[in-house]
């Protein structure tokens, strides 16, 4: 039978606890003297179910791409519990860059696998006069060891892919022009053109078809590899001046985050220079050759070119049609991936048929005069007014656009005239279109 009398006195309990604590402390001291601390650490790691992957900032003098990718990726994974973050603003970027700070655990779950990231630093000894960093940075990625294959073969490639997407999304699009004084023949500036597909005043169906084709192209890396073709796509934009060909190139660049290389063939001296310029372009870029019909040599056909007298100095003292074709789809065109080539012309009929075949100009987009659909885009963009708000006036404009040929640039010019009254702007546009109709009737 239980009795309080059988319990030991509190004084006895405290005495026993103190004796036990003293014995444990003595055992720990003896163990520390006889057994190295590293032994306990090693034993703990062997008994732990966790596996830790170390991702250093660099491998000697070579930057570690995975470290940079992880740093960028984890910046998008910060949680409300994160106490410290790092913020910077690159000179040529519009947005702030957010990354994780030291000793801040970041938890990410990938396919039910819990992954714990921590940015660590370690001091290293460097000579007093050395410019080397005295601190090295590395990520520790911890997870259950049974998920080793998933992390190494799926999760880390996923991190690399997502970091690339984040980087491209924040990328400032550049416009490159020929610069013979540079090391790679190209000079660049930031492309601040505001054109987007939303603001392009072109036929809605053509716009949708072009967007679908672009999305298909950028998603078919493995397909191009499987069929043995260079990962590139050729476009021809043709139509009268002022129909938005150059703006469409800018809209494509802004949509895809591709740099633009603007090439005027009249500035290129010979085929050899053409090849060097191509090699100097980067992946994920748009090469633009505007007004291709105005360039020497591309209007003639192959028969007339073949009939010309041979040049004793070879083909490299001028740009020839064959040199241009090799530039577009020959071996030199395979020096890179995910590239788009855009030709523009006001006169498609002047181009040599050899330039127009698939593989050189895969997609041909006619940039026509302003349609009613294009006007609705312009009205929404410039006046912030929609069809249902001015149905009667819009209907009159639709009828006039079916009779006269005016470019989107001309319509935009009328809509940009400084007037605060939207209805007055539209009425003046109607009067302007009516005048165009009268001029057309007078000429007939």
H, E, C per residue of 72-115: HHHCCCCCCCCCCEEEECCCCCCCCEEEECCCCCEEEEECCEEE
User: Dihedrals φ, ψ of 190, to 5°?
Assistant: -70, 130
Residue 1 has pLDDT above 70, yes or no: no
Any domain includes 414? yes
- Express each pLDDT in 337-350 by its tens digit: 889 999 999 888 88
Question: CA-CA distances (angstroms) from residue 25 to 19, 20, 39, 320, 369?
Answer: 10, 9, 18, 89, 91
How many residues are recorded in the chain?
444
- 352-362 mean pLDDT: 81
| Predicted pLDDT of residue 363 | 92
- Contact of 247 with 367, CB cutoff 8 Å: no
Any domain includes 34? no
Distance CA 434, CA 404 (A): 9
Instruction: Give me 265's structure tokens.
Output: 């063939």
Domain housing 201: 174-366
Residue 399 has pLDDT above 60, yes or no: yes
Answer with the one of 366, 400, 432 that is the final residue of a domain.
366
Q: Are residues 237 and 296 in the same domain?
A: yes
**Closest by CA position to 349, among listed 293, 428, 397:** 293
Q: Are residues 328 and 186 in the same domain?
A: yes
- Contact of 383 with 423, CB cutoff 8 Å: no
Any domain includes 24? no
Any domain includes 190? yes
Q: Are residues 180 and 202 in the same domain?
A: yes
Q: Are residues 301 and 341 in the same domain?
A: yes
DSSP state of 147: G
**pLDDT range class, residue 162, cuts 50, 70, 90:** very high
Q: Are residues 194 and 338 in the same domain?
A: yes
Instruction: Identify the residue whose tokens are 């030199």.
Output: 332
For residues 187 and 43, the model is more confident at: 187
Q: Are residues 263 and 193 in the same domain?
A: yes
Q: Are residues 331 and 286 in the same domain?
A: yes
Tell me the DSSP string of 394-423: HHHHHHHHTTS---HHHHHHHHTSS-S-HH
Q: Are residues 226 and 353 in the same domain?
A: yes
**Closest by CA position to 288, among listed 215, 184, 186:** 186
Indicate which CATH number applies to the domain containing 300: 3.40.50.300
Q: Based on the structure, what is the number of domains in the chain? A: 3
Any domain includes 181? yes
DSSP state of 254: H
**pLDDT range class, residue 304, cuts 50, 70, 90:** very low
Tell whether pTM > 0.75.
Answer: no
Map residue 157 onto helix, strand or coil. helix
Check residue 418 and give left, alpha or beta (phi > 0: left; psi -120 to 50: alpha): beta
Distance CA 228, CA 222 (A): 10
Any domain includes 204? yes
- Contact of 98 with 82, CB cutoff 8 Å: no
Distance CA 407, CA 369 (A): 5
Residue 214 has pLDDT above 90, yes or no: yes
Q: Where are the alpha helices (DSSP H) in 263-352?
A: 271-279, 302-307, 321-329
Answer with the one of 316, 338, 366 that is the final residue of a domain.
366
Residue 243 has pLDDT above 70, yes or no: yes
DSSP state of 152: I
**Closest by CA position to 120, among listed 54, 211, 40, 193:** 54
**pLDDT range class, residue 156, cuts 50, 70, 90:** very high
Answer with the one of 328, 348, 366 that is the final residue of a domain.
366
Q: Tell me how many helices (H) and strands (E) the chain has.
A: 16, 15
- Express each pLDDT in 102-139 by its tens digit: 888 999 999 999 999 999 988 877 666 666 667 789 99
CA atoms within 13 A on the CB side of 246: 14
Distance CA 262, CA 193 (A): 14
Q: Are residues 182 and 285 in the same domain?
A: yes
Residue 17 has pLDDT above 70, yes or no: no
Which uninterrupted H or E stretch holds 205? Answer: helix 204-218
Any domain includes 347? yes
Q: Are residues 113 and 246 in the same domain?
A: no
Residue 280 has pLDDT above 90, yes or no: no
Q: Are residues 342 and 405 in the same domain?
A: no
Any domain includes 424? yes
Parallel, antiparallel, or unpaired for β 174-178 and 259-262?
Answer: parallel
Check residue 7 and give left, alpha or beta (phi > 0: left; psi -120 to 50: alpha): beta
Q: Which residues of 222-240 are buried (b: 16+ CB within 10 A; e: fewer)?
A: eebeeeeebbbbbbbbbbe
Q: Are residues 202 and 269 in the same domain?
A: yes
Name the average pLDDT for the chain.
81
């Amino acid at each position: 039978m239980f009795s309080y009398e059988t319990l030991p006195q509190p004084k006895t309990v405290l005495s026993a606890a103190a004796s036990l604590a003293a014995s444990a402390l003595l055992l720990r001291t003896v163990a520390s003297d006889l057994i190295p601390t590293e032994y306990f650490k090693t034993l703990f790691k062997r008994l732990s179910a966790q596996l830790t992957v170390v991702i250093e900032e660099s491998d000697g003098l070579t930057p570690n791409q995975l470290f940079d990718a992880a740093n960028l990726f984890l910046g998008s994974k910060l949680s409300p519990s994160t106490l410290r973050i790092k913020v910077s603003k690159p000179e040529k970027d519009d947005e702030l860059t957010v990354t994780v700070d030291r000793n801040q655990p970041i938890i990410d779950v990938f396919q039910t696998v819990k992954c714990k990231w921590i940015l660590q630093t370690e001091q290293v000894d460097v000579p007093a006069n050395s410019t080397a960093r005295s601190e090295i940075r590395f990520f520790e990625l911890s997870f259950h060891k049974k998920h080793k294959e998933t992390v190494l073969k799926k999760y880390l490639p996923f991190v690399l892919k997502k970091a690339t997407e984040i980087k491209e999304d924040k990328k400032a699009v550049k416009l490159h022009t020929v610069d013979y004084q540079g090391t790679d023949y190209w000079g660049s500036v930031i492309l601040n053109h505001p054109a987007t597909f939303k603001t392009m005043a072109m036929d809605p169906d053509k716009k949708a078809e072009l967007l679908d084709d672009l999305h298909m192209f950028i998603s078919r890396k493995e397909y191009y590899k499987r069929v043995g073709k260079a990962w590139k796509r050729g476009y021809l934009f043709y139509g009268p001046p002022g129909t938005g060909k150059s703006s469409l190139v800018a809209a494509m660049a802004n949509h895809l985050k591709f740099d633009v290389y603007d090439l005027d063939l009249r500035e290129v001296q010979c085929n050899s220079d053409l090849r060097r310029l191509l090699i100097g372009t980067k992946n994920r870029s748009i090469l633009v050759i505007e007004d291709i019909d105005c360039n020497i040599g591309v209007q003639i056909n192959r028969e007339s070119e073949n009939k010309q007298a041979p040049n004793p100095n070879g083909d490299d003292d001028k740009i020839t049609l064959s040199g241009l074709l090799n530039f577009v789809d020959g071996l030199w065109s395979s020096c890179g991936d995910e590239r788009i080539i855009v030709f523009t012309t006001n006169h498609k009929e002047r181009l040599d048929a050899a330039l127009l075949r698939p593989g050189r100009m895969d997609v041909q987009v006619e940039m026509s005069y302003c349609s009613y659909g294009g006007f609705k885009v312009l009205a929404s963009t410039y006046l912030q007014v929609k069809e249902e708000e001015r149905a009667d006036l819009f209907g009159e404009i639709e009828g006039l656009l079916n009779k006269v040929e005016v470019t989107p640039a001309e319509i935009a010019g009328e809509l940009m005239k400084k007037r605060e009254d939207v209805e007055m702007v539209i009425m003046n546009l109607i009067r302007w279109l009516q005048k165009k109709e009268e001029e057309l009737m007078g000429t007939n």
